[in-house]
Amino acid sequence: MTYMNKISIAIIGCCLSANLQAQEAAGDSVMQHVTGNRLSIGGYGEVNYSRNFYSDNPFRYNDAANHKNDPSHNRFDIPHAVIYLGYDFGKGWSLGTEIEFEHGGTGSAEELEADEFAEWEQETEKGGEVELEQFWIQKSFGRWANIKAGHIVVPVGLTNAHHEPLQFFTVYRPEGENTILPCTWHQTGFSFWGRHKDFRYEVQLLAGLNSDQFTRNNWIKNGTKSPTEYEVANKFGTSLRIDNYSVPGLRIGLSGYFGHSIGNSSPNEATGATATYKGVVAIGAFDFSYKGYNWIVRGQADYGYLGDADQLTDIYNRTNKKSPFHHSSSMRTVSSRAYAVGVEAGYDIFSQIRCTRRNREHLYLFGRYEQYNPYAKQMGANSYDYTAVKRMAVGVNYYPLKQVAIKAEYSQRFLNSRYNNESSVNIGVAYEGFFL
């Protein structure tokens, strides 16, 4: 047996152990399987239905009383449809890719309009996004040392590290982290990661976030998006994650991010606000997951700080109405603080029934509570306290197969007493697995 084969077996053993716990980092999931083939094909996806028992009027917070009795609304959605492609070149070199279609993808076409004097016009036929969420080349030296370069997942927070639909109970991704952080957070850069004994560790160097995309309602969530064909890297960011697996069935994780965001845009100016201020983004997160005794319990707490937040209202790209950034005066104010905390627990009822236990079917009855606020520190004279949300959800997850889940839940957002609470019923079907 060659030395590289021994290394490959060690890496495969690590991945198998992680799969048994279903707690390995999402950034490694592209290569998390053993089939004997160099080529790997897999993916995950969700199909959801929602009945929202509240107004969908965009001004429902500005004039809550007049929108209290607005009709409810229904939605079908395909939040994520993802294709994994991986290839093992041998000698420790591998390739991983993940292509994601969000909300059914996007579509446009050139059409000859008879009603417009036979002029050609571009028509938008479908909303949504198509993104290359992962594209990396990796060199593995052993279980303890792997170097990855390319477009990679940034595993800050619980959802980013474990974002596949079978890694959370709710029909949609946990709302708090999905509100204040990019989710799934993916950027171009370099990563060093490995595993030693009961620890997994990862450190990344990334292109910085772009403060021109920060908003009041979503804090830094959109800071990874770029209207250009490339990611601007005038500023850099770093992320770090450490997970511990010492207790059987329990994973405890710490993660964080630090970087500058103001001036990480085009053009790169030598003078002015973008050259003067840094816009420091600092995030700290704790999360855990436990699986044992027919229980699954998960939880997280995220806290973020944005320096020079009061300067964002005057940044040129955010005031220029022709720019592709958030230039609306009502959205330019961004909080210097944001947080999200949440916990969910589910018990497998089918574990107590002999026939379903024998067929390896599972039915988890679960509850979730979370609290979050992307505008935790009010900035300026106006009050936007509708951003402080407490959310409760109860429901079931049925697993007829290991790779398929049918989800149903009732949820309610509890807002400040000045506003109307928001309840909904969500139903979804999700899968996650490898085909080759």
Q: What is the DSSP string of 301-340?
A: EEEEEETTGGGGGG-HHHH-TTSSS---TTTS---SEEEE
Residue pair 48/34 in contact by the 8 Å Cβ criterion = no
Instruction: Give residue 293's identity as a one-letter amino acid code.
Output: Y
**Out of 3.40.140.10, 2.40.160.10, 2.40.30.170, 3.40.50.720, which CATH number does the structure's domain 3-434 have?**
2.40.160.10
Residue pair 41/170 in contact by the 8 Å Cβ criterion = no
Q: pTM (2 decimals)? A: 0.89
Q: C-alpha 212: how far from its chain's center?
A: 20
Phi/psi for 424 (5° steps) reads -160, 160
How confident is the model over 232-252, as pLDDT tens digits?
A: 899 999 999 999 999 999 999
Residues of the chain predicted below pLDDT 50: 1-22, 33-35, 114-116
User: What does the alpha-carbon distance between residue 231 and residue 306 come to, in Å, rounded to a whole number?
Assistant: 21
The pLDDT value recorded for residue 295 is: 98
Burial readout 109-126 (b: 16 or more C-beta within 10 A, e: otherwise): eeeeeeeeeeeeeeeeee
The pLDDT value recorded for residue 111 is: 58
User: What does the alpha-carbon distance between residue 117 and residue 112 come to, in Å, rounded to a whole number?
Assistant: 9
The pLDDT value recorded for residue 75 is: 95
Domain spans in the chain, listed from the N-terminal domain onward: 3-434
User: What does the alpha-carbon distance between residue 181 and residue 266 come to, in Å, rounded to a whole number?
Assistant: 23
Dihedral angle over CA of 220, 221, 226, 231, nearest 10 = 70
Residue pair 351/187 in contact by the 8 Å Cβ criterion = no
Which residues have a Cβ under 8 Å from the Cβ of 358 and sit 6 or more positions away? none
How confident is the model over 218-234, as pLDDT tens digits?
A: 999 999 988 778 888 99
Residue 383, both tokens: 């009050």
